[in-house]
Structure 1
Amino acid sequence: MLGIDTMSRARAYNSLPKTVKYLQSYDWLDFRAYSKVGFRTFENILPLLTGLPPITTRVLEEQFKALEKNAHRFMWNRFKEAGYMTAFGETHMETFFRFYELHPTDHYVRRFEEELWRGNYVCSGSMFPERHLFDYILQFIRAYKDPYFGFFFSNSFSHDYPGSPALLDKHLIEFLEQLRQTKSWNSTFVVLFSDHGVTYGKPRNDKQKEFYYEERLPMLFMQVPDDFKEVFPDEYFNMQWNQNRLTTVYDLHATMLKILSLSTNTRQSKPDACPKVTGLTEKISSKRTCKDACVSEIYCTCQCLINAPNTWLTRKSLNVAVSKVQQISQAIKTDVKCTKCAKLKYEKTNRIHFYTRGNKTWYIVNFDVSPGYKSFEAILEYDGQRFTHLVTEITKAMADQSCVYAYQDKVYCECIKDNKCT
């Protein structure tokens, strides 16, 4: 399993065109409606690895050093218990590595990556981190006969540098081709996936509604080995069928455990967060809803957004969103003496869309505030009487967040000196 951070399906087609063409030439499955279930990386990757809901995974993130208590939930431990050799690695130690002091898998790239990180962020020695990671994966595969399970994550090129994924295109093809030449290719599943699309920056403020969908639909490509196709033709047919169905990390989680079950003739549990999920090897209904797939309303893409007209209700949704952000900001207590969060002021509206479902209307409001020139996106539910369930999403960083340490506070605070302080 190889993940690439912040890579929606649309972005993959635009920034990795040669790789996508390569995948198509070898009949990789392309899941067109693969949906995220949480906002950022942890809220999507940990549900994939553990089957737990995003709320629980946020608690795990805060107490990551105590993860040994939940080790049995992690996918790689399921495979390890079944006799698989396991490996885990990533290119950016700020994602997972900063929490893992112990070895979660048989092979763990942390120490190697620590040495690489003594150098440049993008290039280490004569190669960039992804090239080192690709070489490590190939060495891992060649060192062992079946079975093995590897989980790897790339984020050096795609997370912080908007145009950089294109630099990875050629090298990713070279890696996949080398992978295809290995002896175990015909018995190995290869999953190329992401956690979410672009969550911040100029694209998220674009007036077009497409970026609302793009951010919620990460890429998911899968190479199904010939051995599996021959032995389980019905399951493979269902996987092909499900390329055009709503799917999530819970489906992928269940699918990996289903593969383990078929390989070892053992019974595996279903995701705790979505126990009705059966995985991609069983046909998914065309009538599946976000609720069926355990996708919350704020991340659901099963609706058509409409440009909101300039009515009193539209203006009210904007006022409610701006007021809520201001309230959160002013309630923050700073961690540095004689500082405070500046009062945020509304600057401009980037876009407002809405959609209806049943007797409720949802407004998606994207706007800028100052100082700090930060952008927010709020999703508000209107039941005919009042607005509820405000959710804000970061699209730009504040200029100065030095007076607060908690991340959830940083996103709302622009630090200034408190002149009343003595």
Structure 2
Amino acid sequence: MVKSKYLLINKHTSRRSHVKSIILKSMHIIAIALLILIIRVIYMLDAHHFYRTPNDISSTDYFVFTSECRIPYVDPFSSEALDRFEDFSHSDCGNDVALIQQFYDHETRQYKLHMNMSAIEEVTRANAMNINDMRCCYRRIKRAGENGFSLSPCHQFQQDFVVPRNIDYLLTECYSNKTKVVVEKNAFTFIQYRNLTGSYNATRISKSGIKRPSVLLLGIDSLSRINLRRVMPKTFMHLQRNHWFELQGFNKVGENTFPNLIALLTSYNATIGKEKCQFDTYGAFNQRICNIIWKNFRDYGYRTAYAEDKYRYSTFNYAAYGFVEQPTDYYLRPFTICIENNLHIKKIRDIVSCIGHKYYAEYILDYALQLSFTYSEEPIFGLFWVNTIGHDYFDTPSVFDLKMLEYLERMQAEKILERSIVFFLGDHGMRWGPLLRLKSGFLEERLPMMFISLPQWYRNEHPDFVKALQVNRNRLTSPFDIYATLKNILEVTNPQKEFHYLNDTTQGISVFREIPENRTCHQAGISDHWCACLSYKVVSINDTQVQKVAHLLIDEMNKYIVSKNIETKCAVLTLSAIQKAFRKTDVNGYKMNNVITYRLWYLVHPGLHSFEATVLFNTIANQIKINIEDINRLDSYKQTAYCVDEKQAKEYCICRE
């Protein structure tokens, strides 16, 4: 008889072993859970420590506490917020080494392409290729209108190829000369040095001997000052330790990127912009009346650049015409269109994260570094805007925390911060998703981050600016103030020349001047709906006036849909439920007069989509007053508004199909 290699055991032994096994498995699960918790706590701990110190909040636990504005402290590390947080810091764009590398010669001001021979040897070995058959070539990328690009034929190049000065960006291909199989595609940008040309004013100022700081705006879409601490703690700690000035009361003025950046770049609000600039017409953004401030910097002798990722949804192109003529000296859009259509893409969730060997955001920030290196002895102005890491989900910026830290540290090491005023900013917080369902969601959405770094020499020359920034840290500010600050920077470079506003109703005050203590949202150019100065009291959702206001809101939304001639495509909206209701008081808690301001969160049919509105209700006439385009949708319209093209109308359209 063949003996079994397994020993026979009795029922009691089996039962005991089974119980022991369950206990061990449970302990194993608990240990893993504890390990994850410890890692999570360590990841957040230092940032949390910074956040609860006098260096970060006022002693009264308010971001702003003035006679006209109270913005309360929000803990970014509350348990309800962390329960919704998923850490993406482990993600990367792959470990493979690029076959082609780029170098910049500061002395000759020229770029070179270097073949990484060890990487090429490894690739050829892995693909059973002969290294002697490997060839690399480049295709020049050129702008072909605002929404296109052209590629030249592929030109072979040799080791340490010097890039011609007329090439701003190119695509490389490395392939087997025998099989013609392409083993790698890559893409590179070049800020090529060019002599200054322009107006008389620019030439005169460049010879005046006045020391002029460079100005860089580094922006991350949808990142609030609260969420920065939560999802990018390493970046936040760097800003704190290196004494960047933070505007804790920086309040957005419009729903999405466009109205907030337009206010910052032009001094226009959406209404004035439409009247003067006619944003919805072809070529509008190139007009001088559009007042985009990079034109003024160009007049003052600055080299200018603009770069933004996610080209289909970029600020001036989403449901708009963009620029007929290239808007700045250096413009990245042709390159971003090319790489999105030619390089390998990796996504996190459903958004583009990596293109080729790098995070998409790296191309934008590398462009900023290149501009700073090429013009290290001349002033520059640049807007560098990143959409891909934070637009759709509040927690995905964590993937870029370490990289962002590396860029800031490199700017410090390369002495870029010694010659530049740098604004590190957001346009708004998350506009939909789980954060908005928190008690603090109202503030998360309305308070984008705003940090400012000044060179030491600039601080020494302008101690009054430093003092004002310290005061303004806890004052109410808005994007209009950043436009006024940019204007202020230019005025300092040429005190004899007056900088004229093209906007007679601008609301901005330079943050280099003390913001009045009694400033209101209205004075800052912020409408009631977007104002973060909390002076509301909870009202029952069953209140008669609340119910009346909610139904009037639905009527106005349906009228808006009809006014846009999209009622055949979009469903008629009906009220499903009121989720929350608030009535405005003054800062001391007193009720207002017969015209009452209500703020409502409500759901509509079809689809149970969520909206937020701030509305004036006349209790005598039983009528409401509201700008419909200020009604805020709290969930994404991506899947429900595909049947209409107009950007603003998408907010309120639920497609019938």
TM-score with structure 1 setting the length: 0.90
* Residue 291 of structure 2 corresponds to residue 55 of structure 1: no
Q: Deviations over 1:134-160 (max 9, x none)?
A: 111111100012311111111101112
Single out whichever of 28-37 and 210-219 deviates more from structure 2: 210-219
- The answer on whether the counterparts of 2:550 and 2:575 sit within 8 Å (CA) in structure 1 is no
1:174 and 1:400, CA in 2 relative to 1: closer, same or farther beyond 3 A?
same
User: 2: CA distance between counterparts of 1:260 and 1:332?
Assistant: 42
**Equivalent residue number for residue 633 of structure 2:** 394
2:614 partner amino acid: I
**Equivalent residue number for residue 125 of structure 2:** none
1:222 partner amino acid: I
Query: 1:222 offset after TM fit, Å?
Result: 0.5
Q: Deviations over 1:55-114 (max 9, x none)?
A: 133564312522222367111111111111111111121213631242111111112211
1:86 and 1:322, CA in 2 relative to 1: closer, same or farther beyond 3 A?
same
**Equivalent residue number for residue 383 of structure 2:** 151
Single out whichever of 234-243 and 182-191 deviates more from structure 2: 182-191
2:490 to 239, 260, 278: 260
3-state SS of the aligned residue for 1:254? helix
1:6 and 1:387, CA in 2 relative to 1: closer, same or farther beyond 3 A?
farther
1:331 and 1:242, CA in 2 relative to 1: closer, same or farther beyond 3 A?
closer
**Equivalent residue number for residue 450 of structure 2:** 220
3-state SS of the aligned residue for 2:493? helix
User: 2: CA distance between counterparts of 1:321 and 1:207?
Assistant: 24
Single out whichever of 237-246 and 47-56 deviates more from structure 2: 47-56
1:331 and 1:100, CA in 2 relative to 1: closer, same or farther beyond 3 A?
closer
3-state SS of the aligned residue for 2:441? helix
1:64 and 1:243, CA in 2 relative to 1: closer, same or farther beyond 3 A?
farther
* Residue 582 of structure 2 corresponds to residue 353 of structure 1: yes
**Equivalent residue number for residue 261 of structure 2:** 45
User: 2: CA distance between counterparts of 1:341 and 1:91?
Assistant: 31
- The answer on whether the counterparts of 2:307 and 2:331 sit within 8 Å (CA) in structure 1 is yes
Query: 1:11 offset after TM fit, Å?
Result: 1.5
- The answer on whether the counterparts of 2:273 and 2:290 sit within 8 Å (CA) in structure 1 is no
Query: 1:402 offset after TM fit, Å?
Result: 4.0
**Equivalent residue number for residue 331 of structure 2:** 108
Query: 1:365 offset after TM fit, Å?
Result: 1.0
Query: 1:31 offset after TM fit, Å?
Result: 0.3
Query: 1:318 offset after TM fit, Å?
Result: 2.3
1:127 to 355, 358, 361: 358
User: 1: CA distance between counterparts of 2:241 and 2:438?
Assistant: 35
**Equivalent residue number for residue 292 of structure 2:** 74
Query: 1:50 offset after TM fit, Å?
Result: 0.9
* Residue 504 of structure 2 corresponds to residue 286 of structure 1: no
- The answer on whether the counterparts of 1:364 and 1:378 sit within 8 Å (CA) in structure 2 is yes
**Equivalent residue number for residue 420 of structure 1:** none
2:327 partner amino acid: P
User: 1: CA distance between counterparts of 2:603 and 2:523?
Assistant: 34
Question: 1:65-214 alignment to 2 at 5 Å?
Answer: 65-70=283-288, 73-93=291-311, 94-96=313-315, 98=317, 99-118=322-341, 119=343, 120=345, 121-144=352-375, 145-204=377-436, 206=437, 208=439, 210-214=440-444
Question: 1:374-389 alignment to 2 at 5 Å?
Answer: 374-385=609-620, 386-389=622-625
- Higher RCO (C-alpha under 8 Å, 6+ residues apart): 1
Question: 1:236-275 alignment to 2 at 5 Å?
Answer: 236-265=466-495, 266-270=497-501, 272=503, 274-275=505-506
1:373 partner amino acid: L
Single out whichever of 306-315 and 123-132 deviates more from structure 2: 306-315
Query: 1:27 offset after TM fit, Å?
Result: 0.4
1:321 and 1:172, CA in 2 relative to 1: closer, same or farther beyond 3 A?
same
Which structure is larger by alpha-carbon Rg, 1 or 2?
Answer: 2
Single out whichever of 358-367 and 229-238 deviates more from structure 2: 358-367
* Residue 461 of structure 2 corresponds to residue 231 of structure 1: yes
- The answer on whether the counterparts of 1:7 and 1:158 sit within 8 Å (CA) in structure 2 is yes
TM-score with structure 2 setting the length: 0.59
User: 1: CA distance between counterparts of 2:309 and 2:642?
Assistant: 27
Q: Deviations over 1:275-326 (max 9, x none)?
A: 4643111111211111221222222222323221242222222222233334
Q: Deviations over 1:104-131 (max 9, x none)?
A: 1111111221122114232110111111
1:157 and 1:312, CA in 2 relative to 1: closer, same or farther beyond 3 A?
same
1:416 and 1:234, CA in 2 relative to 1: closer, same or farther beyond 3 A?
closer
- The answer on whether the counterparts of 2:284 and 2:290 sit within 8 Å (CA) in structure 1 is no
3-state SS of the aligned residue for 2:610? strand
User: 1: CA distance between counterparts of 2:392 and 2:340?
Assistant: 16
User: 2: CA distance between counterparts of 1:353 and 1:36?
Assistant: 21
User: 2: CA distance between counterparts of 1:64 and 1:162?
Assistant: 34
CA RMSD after TM alignment: 2.3
3-state SS of the aligned residue for 1:306? strand
Provide the identity percentage.
28
> Unpaired segments of 5 or more residues in structure 1?
418-422
User: 2: CA distance between counterparts of 1:319 and 1:293?
Assistant: 31
User: 1: CA distance between counterparts of 2:478 and 2:404?
Assistant: 24
1:61 and 1:117, CA in 2 relative to 1: closer, same or farther beyond 3 A?
farther
Query: 1:273 offset after TM fit, Å?
Result: 5.8
Question: 1:308-347 alignment to 2 at 5 Å?
Answer: 308-309=539-540, 310-329=542-561, 333-334=565-566, 340-347=569-576
Query: 1:214 offset after TM fit, Å?
Result: 2.3
User: 1: CA distance between counterparts of 2:514 and 2:564?
Assistant: 48
Q: Alignment length, in residue pairs? A: 412
Query: 1:191 offset after TM fit, Å?
Result: 0.3
Q: Deviations over 1:225-256 (max 9, x none)?
A: 10111111112111111111111111111111
User: 1: CA distance between counterparts of 2:537 and 2:607?
Assistant: 30
- Structure showing the higher helix proportion among its residues: 1
1:341 partner amino acid: C
> Unpaired segments of 5 or more residues in structure 2?
1-216, 346-351, 587-591
Query: 1:175 offset after TM fit, Å?
Result: 0.4
3-state SS of the aligned residue for 1:122? strand
1:217 and 1:270, CA in 2 relative to 1: closer, same or farther beyond 3 A?
farther
